[in-house]
Amino acid sequence: MFGHGNSRTRLKTDRELSRRVRDVVPDRIFNALLERPDSDCTDQCLCHNVTRKRVAELVKQFSDGTTAKTNAVYVLECQMKSVTQKIVREELRLQNNVSWIYDAQEHERLIYVGVSTAVPSRLRKHALGNGSGANFTQMFPPIRLLSIQWFEREVDAYRAEEITADILREVTHDGIYVSQPG
Ligand SMILES: [Zn+2]
């Protein structure tokens, strides 16, 4: 990825990625969160009728028409549920308690930031919640796709995932929980 002598390049890349994220993503998230998640279940939701065709249509809304649609950073709103540590350990087959469950449940709305090189199938895995998605979305299933940004290079997408989560944590209010990437 980045060599040790490349910190200046890395800083420059981070600045460019931050600007790209800041220009687009906070507005999308703010606008989407103005609506209650159940108010537009028919066309935007990821909780019903999650066929390949529908997911492809959702993804297409974020196509910019120019970039290769491979390396994507995506943002989901997830469903708040009351889950206990016991349920979490059973469902995720964990030995120990996880702290993010408590953190998340202290908020009103849940945001998940992810990265993928094959975003339609990744979104379906999150939505189907059969253990092939992510721990966070298995406990708090996705209800809406809020944003996708595309990146030329895979390494940039992975960095942009972290940057996106940081920026959303910084600009959203206290009632919104942003999941930890990775
Ligand atoms: Zn729905």
The DSSP letter of residue 159 is H
Q: What is the model's pLDDT at position 38? A: 63
Using alpha carbons only, how large is the chain's radius of gyration in Å? Answer: 16
Handedness of CA 145, 146, 150, 153 (dihedral sign): negative
Q: Which of 32-36, 89-93, 125-129 has the lowest mean pLDDT?
A: 32-36
**Ligand 1 centre distance from Cα of residue 38 (Å):** 7
CA of 142 to the centre of ligand 1 (A): 9
How high is the mean pLDDT of the chain?
Answer: 88
Distance 45 CA to ligand 1 centre (A): 4
- Give exposure, 90-100, as e/b (b: 16+ Cβ within 10 Å): eeeeeeeebee
CA 82 / ligand 1 centre spacing (Å): 19
CA 7 to centroid of ligand 1, rounded, Å: 44
pTM: 0.90
Residue 55 Cα, ligand 1 centroid: separation in angstroms?
A: 12
In the reported structure, the alpha carbon of residue 164 is separated from the centroid of ligand 1 by a whole-number distance in angstroms of 25
**Span from the CA of 49 to the centroid of ligand 1 (angstroms):** 8
Report the percentage of the chain scoring pLDDT > 70. 91
5 band by pLDDT with thresholds 50, 70 and 90: low
Beta strand ranges found along the chain (DSSP E): 71-78, 109-116, 142-151, 176-178
What's the CA gap between 141 and 77, in Å, rounded? 9
Nearest to 46 by CA among 35, 59, 55: 55
Closest CA to 156 of 48, 41, 12, 4: 12
Residue 115, SS3 per DSSP: strand
